[in-house]
Structure 1
Amino acid sequence: MSRTTTKTEESVRRVPGKACRRDGSPQREEKEAGVERFLRSLPVFVGTHRTAIHSAVFIVYLAVVVTVMCFHEPWFDEAQAWLIARDCSWRELLTVRTHYEGHPPLWWMLLAVPAKLGMPYEWGLKGVQLLTAALMIWLLEFRTKLPEILKVIMPFSYFLCYQYGVTSRPYALMIAAMFLVAINWKNRDEKPWPVVLSMMLLCLTSSYGIVIAGLFSVLWVFDFIRSDKSLFLNKGRFFALLALLVLAICLIYAIRPIDGTSTGAIGESDDDINSPAIRYLYIWLLLPSETMFTSYTGDSSLETVDLSAGAFLYAAAISIMVWCVIGWICRRRNMLRLLLVPYVVLSVIFMMYFSMHHEGIILGYFLMILTIACDVKELGMADVPRQLLKAEKDVAEKIGNSKFLWYKAMLCCAGLSVMFIGVYWNVSACACDIKYDYSSSRYVASFIKDNDLEKYKWMSGWSRITEGQANAKVKQMIRSGEWYCAGEECVDFTPWIEGTLLISNPYFKSNLIGNSYENQTYLSWEWMKDPQRARKDIERWRSSEEPEFYSTIYQPFYFSDLGYKRNDYIKFHVGTRITPWKDSRTKKDTDIYIRKDIYRGVLHSPDAGIKWSDGSKIK
């Protein structure tokens, strides 16, 4: 007897040997099983091809950094370091500049080799930087036991690739030293010299490095005194730590600020400066998020960071999650002190001085802690909290294992996409640097060389802080009457010059800046040495002829206080720079003032198509 197949019966029909959908097609369980097999085979594949993957990441990293370096125009910090290395004597480099810059001299010593040998500026600067960046990533890829996903993603994150890879500063070497400390930390008692030498390198790279190495050493000493009941039981360890202590004391003495050194944000009013409590809060609840996940700040000082309540709360939530994850991993390995004690002390140092490009140091610190943790015991399922595993099991039983695997895969992809935020910043910054001028250094130098203008007199504007702009310290200086100002209710810092000519100085053998402090090619921070220095400088400049070229922003006093006539000059647009910070960009024009007789006679007649930015016209 025939029988009509109902919809219900059709939905449960099964093809022999196969699972089917309700509509009779093969059910998705096979696909889900395939996903499960893929997820399980992935670690096997990575383990089998680990060396090839690491080598590929390392090669691609170097290719990216070298490519962007070719387009990158060095900015102030890069030029300043090169000029100090090139033009200071070894004695001054080791014993004088350290007081005013606040940094150990190792980075200048490395740059001094190509600089004093006469290598071209960008070749020498970027060659040294490339070596330190390569060392940093080589250690990350081939010597640490960090999870493979971090080894693939982190080399292309914003700070490790662009900020500390492309731009030339000592931070790549600093993070490399952190990795060396972490790699040797486990065997520190049996082999103390490798970890101590790594700490010495960390001390030599940055004043922050002295703090980190010092706190690690203190915790190490507490640990072995508690276990050995003696400071001298292991003589090799004792003498290694003693050598580290001697180096640290020498470096602290070398970098201590001396009388006349400018420190802090003297150009900011108290209303714009965050209180110590706000800064401390930001260090714990903002900066961890800013290293990889959020971009609420520019490359400014921590003292002047201004956030909305919503932005801070979101960044704080991310930062708390970061602390919870790293804290949980460290707690399981009895490493909480190693994570928290150095950061507590670092926070106090950061409150005194911290620029947002130092965020990468915090990222490096977290990676160092994770490297030590993974060396103690590699990350695995045992690190997942039991409550989370139980919840996972309950959800799988409730919705079915197949559906749960899909949800788990999607959640993993979402988490992975969050990790790629730093990669996105890096791509954005690299693309911007390739397409636009990062700084004015190269096009200003080209303008001078192409027009044979080096032989003329160039001057830079200086810094004047009025009482309305000043903080309490500068207001006290103004009201004391001891500090000179050619105007009213202000103070002039003539050694603090405008930076356009300075960052182009490395392209020339002679000093472009005709009014620099003591004829120095670099910026000296000796602004506070002589209250009457500005009077002497301004009187000397007034007594000399008007310069042919004047690099300054337009303020009437830059001309009137020196007896110059604004109408004697043409404002000339040299170029435009667009500087990236994560996924944002800052655009700024570079203008200089050219004396009209030089403009007519040397640079030829005015181009009728030029629109002068301040409306100036030849008279």
Structure 2
Amino acid sequence: MKRLRSTWSVLVRDHETSATFSVIVACVYVAFLVWAHAHHEAWRDEIHPWIVAKRAQGFWDIATGDRIYDGHPPLWYWYLRAWTWVTHRPWGLHAANIAVMGAAALLLLRYGPFARVLKIGLLASYQITFEYGVVSRNYGLGLLLVMVFCVQFHPLRPRLVTQAGVLALLCLSSVYGTIIAASLFITLVPLGLRARLSTAPTSFDVSLNPRLVIAGLLLLGALACCIYTTTPPDPNPASPGWNFAALDVTTVGAAARRMVITFFPVRFFDGPRYWGNVWAFWGEHQTVLTVVTVAMLLLLPASLIPPWSQALVLYFGAGLMAIVQIARYTGGPRHWGHWVILYLALCWISRRLYPRRRHLLSSVILTVTILFQFESLLAAVGRD
């Protein structure tokens, strides 16, 4: 019994005093990624950015050239361009993504304010490890930048300009990265404001940290750069534009259900349409799906309270993602997974703001999410 308690205390420890555990688990994780990449043939949307980066005339050509038709900001392409200095062979793409995800895993393991068992479980999840770890896309780079932001988040010692710089890079990783960056910037606003209540005479003063203004301008500049570098100069028949008329109760409800199957995916180990059939299980249990959807819309924000601002940030970011999916491009699991990333980041920030709270509800939600995600990871690796 004593040994069992000792093992349990090691697994639930949420504060690392040394790098030993983090480095060992990160090395195991990287070894798994190397094995998985060795058995994964790059898909078209993976190899295309590598070819663009390799054949570009330089970094400016990447920002203004044909890449502008791809719908993604240039950061991932710039990163791959740097790797082409090492090799022009396709394995450079795999090495680039493994390096990104290895760094993200190390930051999560070393600095994440979660129990060790949760951190290991997150690295065994379908969204993080397969969609962003095995499949080499720009979204893994966005995940790394979110981790960097969370590591730098200190309520008592805010680094407003530095963190805004990280969010600016996040804006240049993907459109969904831009949404997450805008959402996380809101968490910095209270740190840049200082309120003072005086009783004689009664007055309430609010002062603004000039660094918050600089941070906001930096983020706005990155947002403008994202829009400029993803908008083709001529009509693009493959991109029909925004359709805000599609926003109604039905489509919003469908987006909410997509969020549920993203947190709690169920995939089968057989079947010819594994990759496209994400609704296979939940589509046969619509009543259960509706109940779980309503529960998640209430429990996810509730798990972040206090402060109330965390719940509002979650609704803001998740709502913007839903609008993009409805009015522009529905996307797939690689896009929907940013709901999970945003929630994970807000859980991290909540634990930094209130380190003495137990955060039981969010821990339960993350645990259930990990169990579903692990099943999908096994199915994905087996089918890849």
> Is the TM value for this pair above 0.5?
yes
Q: CA deviation at 1:217?
A: 3.0
SS at match of 1:168: coil
Q: Which residue of 2 aligns with 1:364?
A: 341
Determine the C-alpha separation between the residues in 2 that align with 1:74 and 1:142. Answer: 30
Q: Which residue of 2 aligns with 1:65?
A: 33
Go from structure 1 to structure 2 and tell me whether the alpha carbon gap of 1:279 and 1:136 turns closer, same or farther (over 3 Å shift).
farther
Go from structure 1 to structure 2 and tell me whether the alpha carbon gap of 1:432 and 1:219 turns closer, same or farther (over 3 Å shift).
closer
**How much is the aligned-residue C-alpha RMSD, in angstroms?**
3.6
Determine the C-alpha separation between the residues in 1 that align with 2:190 and 2:66. Answer: 35
Contact 1:82 1:108 in 2 (8 A): yes
Go from structure 1 to structure 2 and tell me whether the alpha carbon gap of 1:208 and 1:417 turns closer, same or farther (over 3 Å shift).
closer
CA-to-aligned-CA distance 1:567-604 (integer Å, 9 cap, x gap): xxxxxxxxxxxxxxxxxxxxxxxxxxxxxxxxxxxxxx
Determine the C-alpha separation between the residues in 2 that align with 1:373 and 1:180. Answer: 16
Contact 2:22 2:109 in 1 (8 A): yes
Q: Which residue of 2 aligns with 1:111?
A: 80
Q: CA deviation at 1:106?
A: 0.8
Determine the C-alpha separation between the residues in 1 that align with 2:146 and 2:172. Answer: 12
Q: Structure 2: any 5+ residue segments left out of the alignment?
A: 197-203
Contact 1:170 1:206 in 2 (8 A): yes
Normalising by the residue count of structure 2, what TM-score does the alignment of the two structures yield? 0.80
SS at match of 1:419: helix
1:86-125 correspondence runs (5 A): 86-90=54-58, 91-115=60-84, 117=85, 119-125=87-93
1:328 maps to a residue whose letter is: A
Go from structure 1 to structure 2 and tell me whether the alpha carbon gap of 1:95 and 1:188 turns closer, same or farther (over 3 Å shift).
farther
Q: Which residue of 2 aligns with 1:80?
A: 48
Q: CA deviation at 1:259?
A: 2.4
Q: CA deviation at 1:418?
A: 7.0
2:72 maps to a residue whose letter is: H
Q: CA deviation at 1:195?
A: 1.5
Q: CA deviation at 1:69?
A: 0.9
Q: Which residue of 1 aligns with 2:200?
A: none
Go from structure 1 to structure 2 and tell me whether the alpha carbon gap of 1:136 and 1:319 turns closer, same or farther (over 3 Å shift).
farther
1:175-214 correspondence runs (5 A): 175-187=143-155, 190-214=158-182
Q: Which residue of 2 aligns with 1:326?
A: 300
Q: CA deviation at 1:308?
A: 7.7
1:205 maps to a residue whose letter is: S
Determine the C-alpha separation between the residues in 2 that align with 1:333 and 1:417. Answer: 23
Q: Which residue of 1 aligns with 2:199?
A: none
1:153 aligned to which of 98, 121, 126: 121
Contact 2:160 2:192 in 1 (8 A): no
2:379 aligned to which of 428, 440, 445: 428
Larger radius of gyration: 1
Go from structure 1 to structure 2 and tell me whether the alpha carbon gap of 1:278 and 1:240 turns closer, same or farther (over 3 Å shift).
same
State whether structure 2 residue 236 is matched by structure 1 residue 261: yes
Go from structure 1 to structure 2 and tell me whether the alpha carbon gap of 1:252 and 1:127 turns closer, same or farther (over 3 Å shift).
same
2:352 maps to a residue whose letter is: D
CA-to-aligned-CA distance 1:437-493 (integer Å, 9 cap, x gap): xxxxxxxxxxxxxxxxxxxxxxxxxxxxxxxxxxxxxxxxxxxxxxxxxxxxxxxxx
Instruction: Name which of structure 1's ranges 279-288 and 365-374 shifts more when overlaid on structure 2.
Output: 279-288
Q: Which residue of 2 aligns with 1:317?
A: 291
1:192-591 correspondence runs (5 A): 192-218=160-186, 220-221=188-189, 224=192, 227=195, 233-264=208-239, 277-295=249-267, 299-300=275-276, 310-334=284-308, 335-351=310-326, 352-356=328-332, 357-378=334-355, 381=358, 383=360, 419-433=370-384
Identical-residue share of aligned pairs (%): 20
Contact 2:14 2:113 in 1 (8 A): no
CA-to-aligned-CA distance 1:151-209 (integer Å, 9 cap, x gap): 01110111211221111111111112122223333438732123212211211111111
Determine the C-alpha separation between the residues in 2 that align with 1:418 and 1:165. Answer: 18
CA-to-aligned-CA distance 1:34-57 (integer Å, 9 cap, x gap): 5xx677544433349955543332
Q: CA deviation at 1:222?
A: 7.4
1:315 maps to a residue whose letter is: L
Determine the C-alpha separation between the residues in 2 that align with 1:94 and 1:338. Answer: 31
Contact 1:140 1:179 in 2 (8 A): yes
Contact 2:317 2:342 in 1 (8 A): no
Determine the C-alpha separation between the residues in 2 that align with 1:349 and 1:264. Answer: 13
Higher RCO, 1 or 2 (CA under 8 Å, sep at least 6)? 2
Normalising by the residue count of structure 1, what TM-score does the alignment of the two structures yield? 0.52
Contact 2:153 2:349 in 1 (8 A): yes
Q: CA deviation at 1:370?
A: 0.9
Contact 1:85 1:112 in 2 (8 A): yes
Determine the C-alpha separation between the residues in 2 that align with 1:39 and 1:87. Answer: 57
Contact 1:231 1:238 in 2 (8 A): no
Larger relative helix fraction: 2
Q: Structure 1: any 5+ residue segments left out of the alignment?
A: 1-33, 267-273, 386-411, 434-619
